[in-house]
A and B are shown apart, each in its own frame.
Chain A
Amino acid sequence: MTDEQDRTIRRLLQEKHEPIAIVGMGLRFPGGNNTLEGFEEFLAAGGDGIVPLPTDRWDLSAFLPEPGDEASPGKIRAPAAGFLEGIDQFDPGFFNIAPKEAHYIDPQQRILLETAWQALESANIDPHTLRHGNGGVYIGASSIDYAFELDSLPYEELDPALSNGITIYPLSGRLSYFLGWRGPSLSTDTACASSLTALHLAVQGLRRQECDIALAGAVNCLHHPKIWVMFSQGEVFAADGHCKTFDDAADGYARAEGCGVLVLKRLSDAQRDGDTVLALVRGTAIGQDGESAGLTAPNGAAQEIVIRSALANAQLTSGDIQYVEAHGTGTPLGDPIEMGTINGVFGASHSKENPVVVGSLKTNLGHMEPAAGIGGVVKTVLQMRAGSFFPHLVNTPSRRIPWDSYPVELAQGGKKWDVPVRRAVINGFGFAGAIGAAVLEQAPTAGEEPRRSAAESQVFTVSAKSRRALKLQLRRYQEFLAAHPEADTADLCYTGNVGRAHFPYRVAGVVHDRAELSALLERELARADQDGPRSGELRRTAFLFSGSGAQQPGMGSALYAQFPVFREQVDACDRIFEPLVGLSIRELLIDRGADPGTFHDLRYNQPLMFTFEYALARLWLSWGVRPSVLIGHSTGELIAATVAGLFDVPDAARLMAARGALLATLTVPGGMAAVAAEASEIEPLLAPYQDLGIGAVNSPGQCVLSGGRESLDRACADLRERGYQVTELNVPVASHSSLMAEIAEPLRAVLREITFREPEFTLVSNVTGQVARPSELSTPDYWIRHLCETLNFADGMRAIERRGRHVFIEIGPSSALTTPAAQCVAAQKNAWLVSAHPEDAEADTIRQALAELYLTGLPVNWRAVHTGRERAAAVLPHYAFDRKRYWLPNDATRHRQVAGLGAQRAVHPLLGEEVALTGQGTLREFSTRISAHHPAYLAEHTVGGRSFYPVAGYLETLLALQDAVYGETRRAVEELVFHETLFLSGDAAVELRIRLAEGDAVEIAHRGAEGERVLLTARFGPRRGEDDCAPELRAAAALEPEQRLDADAVYAVYRSLGLDYGPRFRQLRWAGRVGADLVVGEVAGVPADAVGHLPPTLMDAATHTLAAVVDGTTGYVAVRCAGFRLFKKPKADTLRAVLRIGPGDRPDAEFTAALLLLEGEQPVFELEGLAFARLPETAAAAGEAGALDEAEIEGLLAGPRRQRLDALETLVRTLLAEVIEIDDADSVERSTRFIQLGLNSLLATQLRARIEGALGLGLPAASVLQHPSVELLAEFLDRRLSPEPVA
């Protein structure tokens, strides 16, 4: 066989059988289990996760079997089960989902997202590195409880977000979308075999290279009683709520929620990537019962076939297996069949002496249904890792199983699993016959443990997606440290840096030990409330290469010892310099005891600086820093040019060595001195000295004199006398002065030998003070000028400043250059980092700089930072999600509807159910819950963007009350008083109590946690015929107005008042005045539904005729109404409204109105004495969150631009927070992209409408999408609002 054929066969076999490594696991299981470590402890202790049915899922009492009638239908006969805590809780912001949308997303999707994230964390994988990759997602799930919950939502409240919010398919789709993975993504439902099916498909996908990493998982949430009732009628539940698998008392199963996710890779890839392998999936198989005693009855023969084919897929035999994690749900029929299967497969290979051990997780947690298989995998992996079995909870082994003849043994806690290679089979059987099996093997012995390097400082990092969440992370770390006294600080730092995603809100610092880490956490937590760290404002980096000055022996020792990249570069330079200078530059660099004379010798000094700074720059580059520009002071410019790539290192070394040697040959004594003054001020004072000039302009406040020794001494004395601060520099030469002419020609000779190359990075020239063109730099002349002419470093810094804000990193042994550099530019706008410090023997300085670089938000290649100093992977706390409750807006009705009665019994949504009496003198009492979304039209009745309850809603409620109590709606309602406005939010429903008391008194009250507030009082009056119905108004109905205001004009008036009606309320087609006090208008019909009487949207629209008489600048609010009568339910397509304005009835009322609505000649309803008060300013402010009136807008426009922008930003932030429904508007950063907040195009349209309403301004349709942050949108609005700018 040829090598080629051999390779092909190997490859094909590999594709068929390659072991798949489990490199991470995330879990959320009953019993409060959400970490691997915690779950292991729970299982080892034989934990029981079963709890009584919780009260927050459905109305427990409604489903409790009647005492004495245990078999009554429609009830739930399970006292307990396995439940997760807080399935309604979620952190939508983390997953780029708008809080508003989160309500409409199945908790299974949300829990899966969180658990998948934790699985990737446990694998120490930063998911950002996998975006756009071919990662695969394979999810098992069956529960569609969230879709059942929709029963209680009316059709008009079916939010479009639900289309990807319910059912099974979006589980995998949303996860792949969030991660940005392009590999296979599918959700599979084979009932209780789902997760093993998903695992099988994931293994296949990996082996066939369809993906290089895969998540296999499953999720199950149980919050709707429907399936529970169904199963109860089928009598499948255990009477005590426990799966008593293989127990004689087995009497059915217990349902359980749960979510588990595995991170999988091909073993070869995992080993290549250095992943921690938890265990291997050696083989998998799936199949079906086919024919059996019934669709749901298991088939032992079929089960055997699937287990055998999983073994074959693993290239193993039954004798290789020591443990079976049984499906074992605890039913008297299924368990013995499964044990028979196990005997069938393992009977021949095992014996009573060498039995196969069997256990089932269901005895601990109940049956997680689609997630059961993944639970079994997680448990088995933990057992393999522990090397011992967890107890299978059983009292009396079942007498239905012939234990004596089977070579099996139930798992006993603590029993060692002591074999050369631990291997196990996991079983999973679906309710409709699906079968899945997986063969697991313990992880291969890991290679060498990473070398534990000597204690050295580490950079600790932690980050979060929001300011609030950052606090949670800090707290979680504190708790983690307290609970894990054994955790190694350096390992924690290492793992956090390389194994976690890094988000915009960051904390970082250098720590040496646990005490320092604790102090850092404490300090940052205390600071978190004040001004949290913020990143992302600096996008560019600049390297500052310092010239000679701060160097000292041994300055490279710590970097050389700790960073291999630095070490390699120093060694390479050393090899090049040694023949040129005749000694080891490396020794001078790393030997703190080096002879200072040698060290400062000009011949060695230049090569030393070069070696140190060049290696240091390479180190920073290796960490992923890409400088947008380089600048160097004096010699530093030569080094910068080398790093930029203008010279290669051997050429640069020759140049540096020659430069040093030539400087040492200078015959005229020279020197330099720094003067703390502007160069232009000093220059004239130097006129008397022929051989002295300005060598360098360092900053606006500092220049350097350079020239002949004698002149320099006299000039220094002279300047000191004049009061200048002068510091003589410890250099025996006059660089950048005419004295350099002496060595110009010999240096030129060297430069001619040098090859100039095209630089990779941009360099700023200190000769010109500008960005240098490569052609300009690529001549010997330039570098001669550089030697002889004044250096204008200050101009060079300004040239950098013109390119934008930068993170400046000093490449040099101290902060000597940073000080003047920062004086050249607006220092506060930039960040300044220093790589080394003369006193720092531990390389803490560069780590501090790295921490600060990280805080700016720039990317850091942490793997490169830790290269050569890798630590052990540590267990870290998971990301602390900033969770809140999100649920369908069905609070108002779910208890009733789920009780199975609502569908038949029509209940008026505004009146609700009759309840026990609470008020004094009350005869009848009703309770309902409403929110901005329930009924849905309420969201369209807003002032200043906030929804509030319309007067028409109260009237309809009172009609419903009449109907419920008297069976008629024709009694007058009189003496209505509207006590206060009820604002509604979309988040939480509010409870209203509607009471009828003695004397026909009625009352509507808001019942909150802090007690009751009466909203409305009224009285039912006598029944009257329609004959006495407003004859004057009836007569006026046919009149034609002088001028019609069309609907657009009407609703523009309301919008200018901050009342932005949605389409369902915009039913008035036109209105117009007839004479002084009459208005007629046409209203589009809104038919009443089966339980309704007078649709509030229609009634409200009839009052919109007021727009024809009010002026659009003053808001009014209805305070009372003398009387109201309904004559018939409206049915026509077109109705006519007639309104008459009269004087105020009492001093507080501005005016009153009488209103009549007619269908042809026939009156529909009549309102009398509807009194309006001027909307108090304070009430307007309270209601109109963020809305501005005209005067305010004018005030704004007159003010300074910054103030204007601030106000607009506040407005945008407030309205945005309302639209996406987040609590804390201030938590929205100015620059955060709307898309990251989950603002989709639908919500963007809503935001635009709100802004239009608040500003009274029309905006183009795409305004929000095109200005997708608070900052950008505010600027845009400012441009729209401002008059044309004056040139």
Chain B
Amino acid sequence: MAAISSPIGPDLTAAIQDLLELPRSERRDALEALVAAEFKATLLMSEDEELPLGTSYFDLGFTSLRITEVKQRLEELLGCPLSTNLLFSSPTVEQLLDHLASEVFPELFTHQG
């Protein structure tokens, strides 16, 4: 996985900067909302519908093409490359969030206290 070396730098995307503004304890929820919104948009789900985070998105109607779209949009949003392999082998939003929190942006999420 090609994680960016240091996400806490000057060229952060607006979305990541917004996350940074939040207390650490609120960031995971905020990231979830951010990522889920992209998936919902692709699925034409409305804001208030709940996206099942633990179900494979392929079971929710995603095709590989759609996943590639979401991947691109998330990469722009988060300013980091995402592994295609990861998206296909761990196909739930929850697993993607875990990966983002623990591998891609550990500085943002791992509790330091």
Residue positions of A touching B, CB distance < 8 A: 628, 644-645, 757-762, 771, 773-774, 1233, 1235, 1262, 1264-1268, 1272, 1275
Contact of B113 among A645, A1233, A1235, A1265 (CB under 8 A): A645
CA A1268 – CA B60 in complex, angstroms? 6
Is A760 touching B25 in the complex (CB atoms < 8 A)? yes
**Minimum Cβ distance to chain B for residue A621 (Å):** 13
Chain B residue contacts of A1268, Cβ below 8 A = 52, 55, 59-61
Task: Name the distance in Å between B89's Cβ and chain A's nearest Cβ.
Answer: 10
B26 lies within 8 A of chain A by Cβ: yes
Is there an interface contact between B25 and A1235, defined as CB atoms closer than 8 Å?
no
Which of chain A's residues has its CB closest to B40's CB? A1266
A1272 near B24 with CB under 8 A, answer no
Nearest opposing residue in chain B for A1275, CB measure: B49
Report the separation of the CA atoms of residues A1262 and B60 in the bound assembly, to the nearest whole angstrom.
Answer: 9
Other-chain contact of B23, A628, A762, A1266, A1267 (Cβ < 8 Å): A762
- Determine the main DSSP class of B at the interface with A: loop
How far is A1265 from B42 in the complex, measured between Cα atoms in Å?
A: 12
Q: Mark B92-111, 1 if CB is under 8 A from A, else 0.
A: 00000000000000000001
Nearest B residue to A771, CB-CB: B26
Other-chain contact of A758, B24, B44, B46 (Cβ < 8 Å): B24
In the complex, chain B residues whose CB is within 8 Å of the CB of A644: 25
Are A1235's CB and B59's CB within 8 A?
A: yes
List residues of chain A with CB within 8 A of the CB of B43: 1266
A759 and B25 in contact, given A1266-B43, A1275-B49 (Cβ under 8 angstroms): yes
| 8 pairs of residues in contact across A and B, judged by CB atoms under 8 Å | A758-B24, A771-B26, A774-B23, A1264-B61, A1266-B44, A1266-B45, A1267-B45, A1272-B45
Min CB distance, B109 to chain A, in Å? Answer: 11
Q: A1272 CA to B56 CA in the complex, in Å?
A: 17
A1266-B25 contact in complex given A757-B113, A758-B112, A1275-B49, C-beta closer than 8 Å? no
The smallest C-beta distance from A457 to any residue of chain B, in angstroms, reads 33
Q: How far is the CA of A1272 from the CA of B51 in the complex (A)?
A: 10
- Smallest CB gap from A1235: residue in B: B59
Apart from A758-B23, A1268-B60, what 15 extra A-B contacts exist at CB < 8 Å?
Answer: A758-B112, A759-B23, A759-B24, A759-B25, A762-B25, A774-B23, A774-B24, A1233-B52, A1233-B59, A1265-B60, A1268-B52, A1268-B59, A1272-B45, A1272-B49, A1275-B49
A760 touches B29 (CB 8 A): no
The chain B residue with its CB closest to the CB of A1267 is B45
Query: Is the beta-carbon distance between A1265 and B61 smaller than 8 angstroms?
Result: yes
Residues on B with C-beta less than 8 A from A1235 are: 55-56, 59
Q: Please determine whether B61 and A759 come into contact, CB atoms closer than 8 angstroms.
A: no
Contacts of B52 in A (CB 8 A): 1233, 1268
Q: Which A residues touch B112, using CB under 8 A? A: 758
Are B60 and A760 touching (Cβ within 8 A)?
no
Give Cα distance in the complex from A670 to B60, angstroms: 62
- Residue-wise, chain B 22-66 has the 8 Å CB interface mask toward A (1 for contact) of 011110010000000000000111100100100110011100000
Tell me the complex Cα distance, A448–B32, Å. Answer: 46
Chain B residues, Cβ within 8 Å of A628? 29
Find the residue from A771, A1264, A1266 having the highest chain B CB count within 10 A.
A1266
Which residue of chain B is the closest to A630 with respect to CB atoms?
B25
Complexed CA–CA distance, A783 and B55 (Å) = 44
The CA of A1266 and the CA of B24, in the complex, are separated in Å by 33
Query: A762 and B26: CB pair below 8 A?
Result: yes
Q: Which of the listed residues B44, B56, B61, B111 has the most CB atoms from chain A within 10 Å of its own CB?
A: B61
Q: How far is the CB of A1259 from chain B (nearest CB, A)?
A: 12
- Tell me the minimal C-beta distance from B61 to chain A in angstroms: 3
Which residues of chain B are within 8 angstroms of A1267 by Cβ–Cβ distance? 45
**Within the assembled complex, what's the spacing in Å between the Cα atoms of A1155 and B52?**
55
Residues of B within 8 A of A774 (CB): 23-24
Q: How far is it, in angstroms, between the C-alpha of A1264 and the C-alpha of B26 when the chains are bound?
A: 33
Task: Write the nearest CB–CB distance from A367 to chain B, whole angstroms.
Answer: 42
> Is B29's CB under 8 angstroms from A773's CB?
no
Contact B111 A760 (CB under 8 A): yes
The docked-state distance in angstroms from the alpha carbon of A1275 to that of B24 is: 35
Closest A-B pairs by Cβ, 4 of them: A1265-B61, A1266-B61, A1235-B59, A757-B113
Chain B residues closer than 8 Å to A771, beta-carbon distance = 26
B98 to chain A, nearest CB (A): 11
Cβ contact within 8 Å between A773 and B23? yes
Question: Which of chain B's residues has its CB closest to A1271's CB?
Answer: B49
**Shortest beta-carbon distance, B38 to chain A, in Å?**
14
**Chain B: which residue is nearest A758 at the CB level?**
B113
Contacts of A1233 in B (CB 8 A): 52, 55, 59
Q: How many Å from the CB of B71 to the closest CB on chain A?
A: 18
In the docked arrangement, what's the CA distance between A1048 and B59, Å?
31
Residues of A within 8 A of B60 (CB): 1265-1266, 1268
Measured between alpha carbons, how far is A758 from B61 in the docked complex, in Å? 40
Bound: A645/B111 CA distance, A = 10
- Closest A residue to B90 by CB, please name it: A132
Query: How far is B23's CA from A927's CA once the two chains are assembled, in angstroms?
Result: 76
- Expressed in whole angstroms, the Cα–Cα distance for A1266 and B49 within the complex equals 11
The listed residue (B25, B59, B61) touching A761 by CB distance below 8 A is: B25
Task: Select from chain A the residue with minimum beta-carbon distance to B48.
Answer: A1275
A667–B75 Cα distance when bound, in Å, is 63
Docked CA distance A757–B24 (Å):
11
Q: How far is the CA of A762 from the CA of B26 in the complex (A)?
A: 7
Chain A residue numbers with a CB within 8 Å of B23 are 758-759, 762, 773-774
Distance, CA A774 to CA B24, complexed state (A): 9
CA distance A1262 to B59 in the complex (A): 11
Most chain A Cβ neighbours within 10 Å, of B23, B24, B59, B111: B23
Chain B residues within 8 Å of A759, by CB: 23-25, 113
Report the minimal beta-carbon distance from B20 to chain A, rounded to whole angstroms: 13
| CB of B81 to closest CB in A, whole Å | 24
- Residue of B whose beta carbon sits closest to that of A1264: B61
In the assembled complex, the Cα of A1251 lies from the Cα of B44 at a distance in Å of 19
Find the B residue at minimum CB distance from A760.
B111
Closest to B29 in A: A628
Task: List the A residue with the shortest CB-CB distance to B44.
Answer: A1266
CB–CB A1262/B61 < 8 A: yes
| B4 vs chain A, min Cβ distance (A) | 23
Closest chain A residue to B59, Cβ basis: A1235
Q: For residue A774, which residue of chain B has the nearest CB?
A: B23
Residues of A within 8 A of B111 (CB): 645, 758, 760
For residue A1239, which residue of chain B has the nearest CB? B59
CB-nearest residue of chain B to A1279: B46
- Complex alpha-carbon distance, A1116 and B14, angstroms: 63
A775's nearest neighbour on chain B, judged by CB, is: B23
Q: How far is the CA of A345 from the CA of B45 in the complex (A)?
A: 70
A758 to B25, CA, bound (A): 9
How many angstroms between the C-alpha atoms of A913 and B44 in the bound complex? 54
Residue of A nearest to B21 (CB): A773
Q: Bound state CA distance, A1267 and B59, in angstroms?
A: 11
Instruction: Please measure, in the bound complex, the distance between the C-alpha atom of A767 and the C-alpha atom of B45, giving whole angstroms.
Output: 38
The CA of A395 and the CA of B68, in the complex, are separated in Å by: 72
CB distance from A989 to the nearest CB of B (A): 33
**Separation in Å of the B80 CB from the closest CB of chain A?**
23
Q: Which B residues touch A1262, using CB under 8 A?
A: 61
Chain A residue nearest to B22 (CB atoms) is A773
Tell me the minimal C-beta distance from B74 to chain A in angstroms.
Answer: 19
Docked pose: A1264 CA to B56 CA in angstroms:
15
For the complex, what is the distance from the CA of A774 to the CA of B26, rounded to whole Å?
Answer: 11
**Nearest CB on B from A744, distance (A):** 27
**Whole-angstrom distance from the CB of A1151 to the nearest CB of chain B?**
45
In angstroms, Cα B7 to Cα A1018, docked, is 83
Docked pose: A339 CA to B96 CA in angstroms: 60
* In the complex, chain B residues whose CB is within 8 Å of the CB of A773: 23
Q: Which residues of B contact A1264 (CB under 8 A)?
A: 61
Minimal beta-carbon separation of A757 from chain B (angstroms): 4
- Which residues of chain A come closer than 8 Å to B45, judged between CB atoms? 1266-1267, 1272
Most buried by A among B25, B29, B44: B25
| Residues of chain B lying within 8 A (CB to CB) of residue A761 | 25
Q: How far is the CA of A774 from the CA of B20 in the complex (A)?
A: 12
**Which residues of chain A are within 8 angstroms of B55 by Cβ–Cβ distance?**
1233, 1235, 1268
